[in-house]
Structure 1
Protein backbone atom coordinates (compact mmCIF):
# COMPACT_ATOMS: atom_id res chain seq x y z
CA UNK A 1 0.00 0.00 0.00
CA UNK A 2 2.82 2.40 0.88
CA UNK A 3 4.57 1.86 -2.47
CA UNK A 4 1.29 2.43 -4.32
CA UNK A 5 0.77 5.65 -2.39
CA UNK A 6 4.29 6.86 -3.21
CA UNK A 7 3.61 6.27 -6.91
CA UNK A 8 0.23 8.04 -6.57
CA UNK A 9 1.89 11.00 -4.84
CA UNK A 10 4.51 11.26 -7.58
CA UNK A 11 1.82 11.21 -10.26
CA UNK A 12 -0.25 13.66 -8.26
CA UNK A 13 2.75 15.99 -7.96
CA UNK A 14 3.03 16.32 -11.74
CA UNK A 15 -0.74 16.45 -12.24
CA UNK A 16 -1.02 19.37 -9.81
CA UNK A 17 1.90 21.11 -11.50
CA UNK A 18 0.31 20.73 -14.93
CA UNK A 19 -3.08 21.85 -13.65
CA UNK A 20 -1.53 24.81 -11.81
CA UNK A 21 0.30 26.21 -14.82
CA UNK A 22 -2.71 25.52 -17.08
CA UNK A 23 -4.98 27.61 -14.87
CA UNK A 24 -2.36 30.33 -14.42
CA UNK A 25 -1.36 30.85 -18.04
CA UNK A 26 -3.85 29.21 -20.40
CA UNK A 27 -7.10 29.87 -18.55
CA UNK A 28 -5.88 33.19 -17.10
CA UNK A 29 -6.90 32.21 -13.56
CA UNK A 30 -3.72 32.91 -11.59
CA UNK A 31 -5.28 32.54 -8.13
CA UNK A 32 -6.72 29.12 -8.92
CA UNK A 33 -3.42 28.06 -10.43
CA UNK A 34 -1.51 29.24 -7.37
CA UNK A 35 -3.93 27.39 -5.09
CA UNK A 36 -3.31 24.18 -7.02
CA UNK A 37 0.45 24.64 -6.75
CA UNK A 38 0.15 25.24 -3.02
CA UNK A 39 -1.65 21.90 -2.69
CA UNK A 40 1.62 20.10 -3.45
CA UNK A 41 2.67 19.80 0.24
CA UNK A 42 -0.64 18.08 1.05
CA UNK A 43 0.56 15.03 -0.88
CA UNK A 44 3.50 14.65 1.48
CA UNK A 45 1.26 15.15 4.52
CA UNK A 46 -1.04 12.36 3.30
CA UNK A 47 1.93 10.05 2.72
CA UNK A 48 3.32 10.82 6.17
CA UNK A 49 0.00 10.19 7.91
CA UNK A 50 -0.62 6.91 6.07
CA UNK A 51 2.91 5.72 6.89
CA UNK A 52 2.42 6.52 10.59
CA UNK A 53 -0.98 4.78 10.65
CA UNK A 54 0.54 1.74 8.95
CA UNK A 55 3.16 1.49 11.69
CA UNK A 56 0.60 2.10 14.43
CA UNK A 57 -1.54 -0.75 13.11
CA UNK A 58 1.29 -3.16 13.71
CA UNK A 59 3.08 -3.24 10.36
CA UNK A 60 6.75 -4.16 10.63
CA UNK A 61 9.02 -1.27 9.62
CA UNK A 62 10.46 -2.07 6.21
CA UNK A 63 12.04 -0.57 3.12
CA UNK A 64 8.62 0.80 2.14
CA UNK A 65 8.54 3.12 5.15
CA UNK A 66 12.15 4.15 4.52
CA UNK A 67 11.39 4.90 0.89
CA UNK A 68 8.42 7.03 1.94
CA UNK A 69 10.67 9.09 4.24
CA UNK A 70 13.22 9.59 1.46
CA UNK A 71 10.50 10.64 -0.97
CA UNK A 72 9.17 13.24 1.47
CA UNK A 73 12.72 14.48 2.11
CA UNK A 74 13.44 14.79 -1.61
CA UNK A 75 10.24 16.75 -2.16
CA UNK A 76 11.13 19.15 0.67
CA UNK A 77 14.69 19.60 -0.59
CA UNK A 78 14.07 19.81 -4.33
CA UNK A 79 10.32 20.17 -4.91
CA UNK A 80 10.42 23.98 -4.88
CA UNK A 81 13.18 23.96 -7.49
CA UNK A 82 11.11 21.72 -9.76
CA UNK A 83 8.03 23.91 -9.34
CA UNK A 84 10.03 27.07 -10.07
CA UNK A 85 11.63 25.50 -13.15
CA UNK A 86 8.30 24.35 -14.62
CA UNK A 87 6.52 27.60 -13.77
CA UNK A 88 9.26 29.64 -15.46
CA UNK A 89 9.07 27.60 -18.66
CA UNK A 90 5.26 27.69 -18.61
CA UNK A 91 5.32 31.48 -18.20
CA UNK A 92 7.65 31.71 -21.21
CA UNK A 93 5.81 29.32 -23.53
CA UNK A 94 2.21 29.96 -22.48
CA UNK A 95 2.24 33.42 -20.92
CA UNK A 96 4.62 35.27 -23.22
CA UNK A 97 7.18 35.83 -20.47
CA UNK A 98 10.95 35.95 -20.95
CA UNK A 99 12.82 32.74 -21.46
CA UNK A 100 14.11 31.56 -18.08
CA UNK A 101 17.85 31.61 -17.72
CA UNK A 102 19.45 28.22 -17.43
CA UNK A 103 22.01 27.35 -14.78
CA UNK A 104 25.56 28.65 -15.26
CA UNK A 105 27.69 26.34 -17.37
CA UNK A 106 31.25 27.35 -16.55
CA UNK A 107 33.64 28.44 -13.85
CA UNK A 108 32.90 29.19 -10.22
CA UNK A 109 29.37 30.30 -11.10
CA UNK A 110 28.63 26.69 -12.06
CA UNK A 111 30.34 25.50 -8.87
CA UNK A 112 28.13 27.78 -6.75
CA UNK A 113 25.04 26.49 -8.57
CA UNK A 114 26.02 22.87 -7.94
CA UNK A 115 26.66 23.72 -4.30
CA UNK A 116 23.19 25.25 -4.02
CA UNK A 117 21.62 22.10 -5.49
CA UNK A 118 23.64 20.01 -3.05
CA UNK A 119 22.24 22.03 -0.15
CA UNK A 120 18.80 20.84 -1.29
CA UNK A 121 20.04 17.25 -1.12
CA UNK A 122 21.47 17.96 2.34
CA UNK A 123 18.07 19.26 3.46
CA UNK A 124 16.39 16.21 1.95
CA UNK A 125 18.71 13.89 3.89
CA UNK A 126 18.10 15.80 7.12
CA UNK A 127 14.30 15.68 6.71
CA UNK A 128 14.34 11.97 5.82
CA UNK A 129 16.62 11.20 8.77
CA UNK A 130 14.36 13.12 11.14
CA UNK A 131 11.24 11.33 9.94
CA UNK A 132 12.95 7.95 10.17
CA UNK A 133 14.17 8.72 13.68
CA UNK A 134 10.62 9.65 14.73
CA UNK A 135 9.48 6.31 13.31
CA UNK A 136 12.21 4.51 15.27
CA UNK A 137 11.08 6.18 18.50
CA UNK A 138 7.44 5.54 17.61
CA UNK A 139 8.01 1.80 17.16
CA UNK A 140 10.21 1.66 20.24
CA UNK A 141 11.63 -1.79 19.49
CA UNK A 142 15.31 -1.87 18.43
CA UNK A 143 14.83 -5.33 16.97
CA UNK A 144 12.26 -4.07 14.46
CA UNK A 145 13.83 -0.80 13.36
CA UNK A 146 17.02 -2.00 11.65
CA UNK A 147 15.64 -1.30 8.18
CA UNK A 148 14.71 2.26 9.15
CA UNK A 149 18.21 2.92 10.47
CA UNK A 150 19.74 1.52 7.27
CA UNK A 151 17.67 4.03 5.27
CA UNK A 152 19.12 6.83 7.40
CA UNK A 153 22.59 5.72 6.31
CA UNK A 154 21.39 5.53 2.70
CA UNK A 155 20.15 9.13 2.83
CA UNK A 156 23.52 10.44 4.05
CA UNK A 157 25.46 8.24 1.65
CA UNK A 158 23.54 9.79 -1.24
CA UNK A 159 24.14 13.28 0.16
CA UNK A 160 27.87 12.52 0.50
CA UNK A 161 28.19 11.29 -3.09
CA UNK A 162 26.31 14.33 -4.37
CA UNK A 163 28.54 16.55 -2.24
CA UNK A 164 31.69 15.09 -3.79
CA UNK A 165 30.28 15.67 -7.28
CA UNK A 166 29.41 19.27 -6.40
CA UNK A 167 32.87 19.80 -4.88
CA UNK A 168 34.53 18.60 -8.08
CA UNK A 169 33.09 21.63 -9.91
CA UNK A 170 34.91 23.90 -7.44
CA UNK A 171 38.20 21.99 -7.55
CA UNK A 172 38.19 21.57 -11.33
CA UNK A 173 35.98 24.40 -12.64
CA UNK A 174 34.80 23.88 -16.16
CA UNK A 175 36.37 26.40 -18.52
CA UNK A 176 34.23 28.48 -20.83
CA UNK A 177 35.05 29.27 -24.47
CA UNK A 178 36.64 32.60 -23.48
CA UNK A 179 38.98 30.83 -21.06
CA UNK A 180 40.35 28.46 -23.67
CA UNK A 181 43.20 30.47 -25.19
CA UNK A 182 44.42 29.24 -28.58
CA UNK A 183 47.82 27.63 -28.90
CA UNK A 184 50.51 30.27 -29.39
CA UNK A 185 51.67 30.33 -32.96
CA UNK A 186 55.33 29.74 -33.70
CA UNK A 187 57.46 32.78 -34.52
CA UNK A 188 57.83 33.63 -38.21
CA UNK A 189 61.50 32.65 -38.25
CA UNK A 190 60.83 29.28 -36.65
CA UNK A 191 58.15 28.53 -39.24
CA UNK A 192 60.59 29.33 -42.06
CA UNK A 193 63.20 27.05 -40.52
CA UNK A 194 60.72 24.16 -40.29
CA UNK A 195 59.65 24.76 -43.89
CA UNK A 196 63.28 24.60 -45.10
CA UNK A 197 63.92 21.44 -43.10
CA UNK A 198 60.80 19.88 -44.59
CA UNK A 199 61.95 20.81 -48.10
CA UNK A 200 65.34 19.12 -47.54
CA UNK A 201 63.59 15.90 -46.53
Structure 2
Protein backbone atom coordinates (compact mmCIF):
# COMPACT_ATOMS: atom_id res chain seq x y z
CA UNK A 1 0.00 0.00 0.00
CA UNK A 2 2.71 2.48 0.94
CA UNK A 3 4.48 2.11 -2.42
CA UNK A 4 1.44 1.83 -4.67
CA UNK A 5 2.00 5.26 -6.30
CA UNK A 6 5.59 4.45 -7.28
CA UNK A 7 5.89 0.65 -7.45
CA UNK A 8 6.85 -1.12 -10.66
CA UNK A 9 5.70 -4.74 -10.55
CA UNK A 10 7.51 -7.08 -12.91
CA UNK A 11 5.40 -10.08 -13.86
CA UNK A 12 6.15 -12.83 -16.36
CA UNK A 13 3.65 -13.50 -19.14
CA UNK A 14 2.95 -16.91 -17.64
CA UNK A 15 2.38 -15.56 -14.12
CA UNK A 16 0.17 -12.77 -15.46
CA UNK A 17 -2.07 -15.23 -17.32
CA UNK A 18 -2.00 -17.95 -14.68
CA UNK A 19 -2.15 -15.97 -11.43
CA UNK A 20 -3.22 -12.36 -11.83
CA UNK A 21 -5.64 -12.04 -14.74
CA UNK A 22 -8.14 -14.94 -14.30
CA UNK A 23 -10.23 -13.11 -11.67
CA UNK A 24 -10.36 -9.96 -13.80
CA UNK A 25 -11.20 -11.97 -16.91
CA UNK A 26 -14.06 -13.66 -15.05
CA UNK A 27 -15.50 -10.29 -14.00
CA UNK A 28 -15.12 -8.74 -17.44
CA UNK A 29 -15.76 -11.58 -19.88
CA UNK A 30 -18.01 -13.94 -17.92
CA UNK A 31 -19.85 -11.45 -15.70
CA UNK A 32 -19.83 -8.72 -18.37
CA UNK A 33 -18.74 -5.80 -16.17
CA UNK A 34 -19.54 -2.44 -17.75
CA UNK A 35 -16.59 -0.55 -16.30
CA UNK A 36 -13.23 -1.22 -14.72
CA UNK A 37 -10.77 0.85 -12.70
CA UNK A 38 -7.08 0.91 -13.57
CA UNK A 39 -4.55 0.96 -10.73
CA UNK A 40 -1.78 3.21 -9.43
CA UNK A 41 1.29 1.03 -9.89
CA UNK A 42 3.32 0.18 -12.98
CA UNK A 43 3.28 -3.26 -14.58
CA UNK A 44 6.52 -4.19 -16.35
CA UNK A 45 7.51 -0.55 -16.71
CA UNK A 46 4.20 0.99 -17.82
CA UNK A 47 1.68 2.67 -15.49
CA UNK A 48 -1.44 0.52 -15.18
CA UNK A 49 -3.60 3.41 -16.45
CA UNK A 50 -1.36 3.70 -19.50
CA UNK A 51 -0.61 0.03 -20.01
CA UNK A 52 -0.68 -1.34 -23.54
CA UNK A 53 -0.41 -4.86 -22.11
CA UNK A 54 -3.39 -4.54 -19.77
CA UNK A 55 -5.72 -2.04 -21.42
CA UNK A 56 -5.10 -2.66 -25.12
CA UNK A 57 -3.84 -6.22 -25.52
CA UNK A 58 -5.94 -7.93 -22.86
CA UNK A 59 -8.91 -5.73 -21.93
CA UNK A 60 -9.93 -4.35 -25.33
CA UNK A 61 -8.20 -6.94 -27.50
CA UNK A 62 -8.37 -10.49 -26.18
CA UNK A 63 -11.37 -9.87 -23.92
CA UNK A 64 -13.37 -7.63 -26.27
CA UNK A 65 -14.30 -5.16 -23.50
CA UNK A 66 -16.71 -2.47 -24.75
CA UNK A 67 -17.25 -0.53 -21.52
CA UNK A 68 -15.27 2.34 -20.04
CA UNK A 69 -12.14 2.55 -17.91
CA UNK A 70 -11.89 4.97 -14.97
CA UNK A 71 -8.60 5.69 -13.24
CA UNK A 72 -8.06 5.15 -9.56
CA UNK A 73 -8.03 8.62 -8.01
CA UNK A 74 -4.84 10.48 -8.99
CA UNK A 75 -3.40 7.52 -10.92
CA UNK A 76 -3.13 9.69 -14.04
CA UNK A 77 -1.17 12.37 -12.18
CA UNK A 78 1.07 9.58 -10.88
CA UNK A 79 2.17 8.93 -14.47
CA UNK A 80 4.35 12.05 -14.49
CA UNK A 81 4.58 13.07 -10.81
CA UNK A 82 5.61 9.75 -9.25
CA UNK A 83 6.41 7.24 -11.99
CA UNK A 84 8.24 9.83 -14.12
CA UNK A 85 6.96 7.86 -17.11
CA UNK A 86 5.83 11.08 -18.83
CA UNK A 87 7.69 14.42 -18.71
CA UNK A 88 4.73 16.61 -17.74
CA UNK A 89 0.99 16.57 -16.89
CA UNK A 90 -0.19 16.97 -20.52
CA UNK A 91 1.94 14.05 -21.67
CA UNK A 92 0.69 11.95 -18.72
CA UNK A 93 -2.94 12.68 -19.66
CA UNK A 94 -2.14 11.67 -23.24
CA UNK A 95 -0.52 8.39 -22.15
CA UNK A 96 -3.64 7.45 -20.18
CA UNK A 97 -6.19 8.54 -22.80
CA UNK A 98 -4.40 6.83 -25.70
CA UNK A 99 -4.06 3.59 -23.71
CA UNK A 100 -7.82 3.57 -23.06
CA UNK A 101 -8.40 5.33 -19.73
CA UNK A 102 -11.67 7.09 -20.57
CA UNK A 103 -12.42 8.84 -17.29
CA UNK A 104 -9.91 10.32 -14.86
CA UNK A 105 -10.68 10.41 -11.14
CA UNK A 106 -8.75 13.29 -9.61
CA UNK A 107 -9.00 14.20 -5.93
CA UNK A 108 -8.59 17.90 -6.76
CA UNK A 109 -12.22 17.88 -7.91
CA UNK A 110 -13.18 17.57 -4.24
CA UNK A 111 -11.96 21.14 -3.71
CA UNK A 112 -13.45 22.45 -6.96
CA UNK A 113 -9.98 23.02 -8.41
CA UNK A 114 -10.01 24.96 -11.66
CA UNK A 115 -8.28 24.06 -14.90
CA UNK A 116 -8.09 20.29 -14.54
CA UNK A 117 -9.02 19.92 -18.19
CA UNK A 118 -6.17 22.12 -19.35
CA UNK A 119 -3.78 19.16 -19.41
CA UNK A 120 -5.98 17.51 -22.04
CA UNK A 121 -6.36 20.73 -24.04
CA UNK A 122 -2.58 21.14 -24.04
CA UNK A 123 -2.07 17.50 -25.04
CA UNK A 124 -4.39 18.07 -27.99
CA UNK A 125 -2.68 21.34 -29.00
CA UNK A 126 0.70 19.60 -28.89
CA UNK A 127 -0.58 16.74 -31.05
CA UNK A 128 -0.21 14.16 -28.30
CA UNK A 129 -3.88 13.19 -28.62
CA UNK A 130 -6.38 13.58 -31.44
CA UNK A 131 -10.07 14.43 -31.58
CA UNK A 132 -10.55 10.76 -32.42
CA UNK A 133 -8.98 9.77 -29.08
CA UNK A 134 -11.30 12.18 -27.26
CA UNK A 135 -14.35 10.99 -29.22
CA UNK A 136 -13.57 7.35 -28.41
CA UNK A 137 -13.59 8.09 -24.68
CA UNK A 138 -16.75 10.19 -24.94
CA UNK A 139 -18.62 7.48 -26.86
CA UNK A 140 -17.73 4.91 -24.20
CA UNK A 141 -18.77 7.22 -21.35
CA UNK A 142 -22.00 8.44 -22.93
CA UNK A 143 -22.90 4.89 -23.99
CA UNK A 144 -22.79 3.91 -20.32
CA UNK A 145 -24.94 6.89 -19.38
CA UNK A 146 -27.39 5.98 -22.14
CA UNK A 147 -27.62 2.37 -20.93
CA UNK A 148 -28.23 3.60 -17.37
CA UNK A 149 -30.91 6.11 -18.38
CA UNK A 150 -28.74 8.97 -17.16
CA UNK A 151 -29.18 11.39 -20.06
CA UNK A 152 -31.70 14.22 -20.22
CA UNK A 153 -34.58 13.56 -22.61
CA UNK A 154 -34.38 9.77 -22.30
CA UNK A 155 -36.70 7.52 -20.38
CA UNK A 156 -35.17 7.15 -16.94
CA UNK A 157 -34.44 3.79 -15.37
CA UNK A 158 -37.18 2.39 -13.21
CA UNK A 159 -36.42 2.88 -9.53
CA UNK A 160 -35.02 -0.11 -7.71
CA UNK A 161 -37.94 -2.03 -6.25
CA UNK A 162 -35.77 -3.98 -3.81
CA UNK A 163 -36.58 -2.86 -0.25
CA UNK A 164 -33.77 -2.27 2.24
CA UNK A 165 -35.21 -5.10 4.35
CA UNK A 166 -34.14 -7.57 1.63
CA UNK A 167 -30.47 -6.72 2.22
CA UNK A 168 -28.31 -8.59 4.75
CA UNK A 169 -31.02 -11.12 5.57
CA UNK A 170 -30.41 -14.23 7.71
CA UNK A 171 -30.41 -16.27 4.49
CA UNK A 172 -27.68 -14.04 3.04
CA UNK A 173 -25.60 -14.42 6.20
CA UNK A 174 -26.02 -18.20 6.11
CA UNK A 175 -24.87 -18.28 2.49
CA UNK A 176 -21.85 -16.09 3.29
CA UNK A 177 -20.93 -18.41 6.18
CA UNK A 178 -21.23 -21.47 3.93
CA UNK A 179 -19.00 -19.84 1.32
CA UNK A 180 -16.42 -18.93 3.96
CA UNK A 181 -16.42 -22.46 5.42
CA UNK A 182 -16.15 -24.16 2.03
CA UNK A 183 -13.32 -21.89 0.88
CA UNK A 184 -10.95 -22.71 3.76
CA UNK A 185 -7.62 -24.16 2.68
CA UNK A 186 -5.59 -26.36 5.00
CA UNK A 187 -1.86 -26.53 4.36
CA UNK A 188 0.28 -29.44 5.50
CA UNK A 189 3.69 -28.30 6.68
CA UNK A 190 5.95 -30.79 4.94
CA UNK A 191 8.99 -28.51 5.10
CA UNK A 192 7.85 -26.07 2.42
CA UNK A 193 6.29 -23.58 4.83
CA UNK A 194 8.71 -21.38 6.80
CA UNK A 195 7.44 -22.80 10.10
CA UNK A 196 8.83 -25.16 12.70
CA UNK A 197 7.54 -28.76 12.35
CA UNK A 198 4.45 -29.43 14.43
CA UNK A 199 3.28 -25.79 14.51
CA UNK A 200 -0.46 -25.40 14.02
CA UNK A 201 -1.80 -22.38 12.14
CA UNK A 202 -5.44 -21.39 11.74
CA UNK A 203 -6.29 -19.49 8.55
Higher relative contact order (CA 8 A, sep 6+): 1
TM score, norm. by length of structure 2: 0.24
Q: Bigger radius of gyration, 1 or 2?
A: 1
Larger fraction in strand: 2
* TM-score (ref. length: structure 1): 0.24
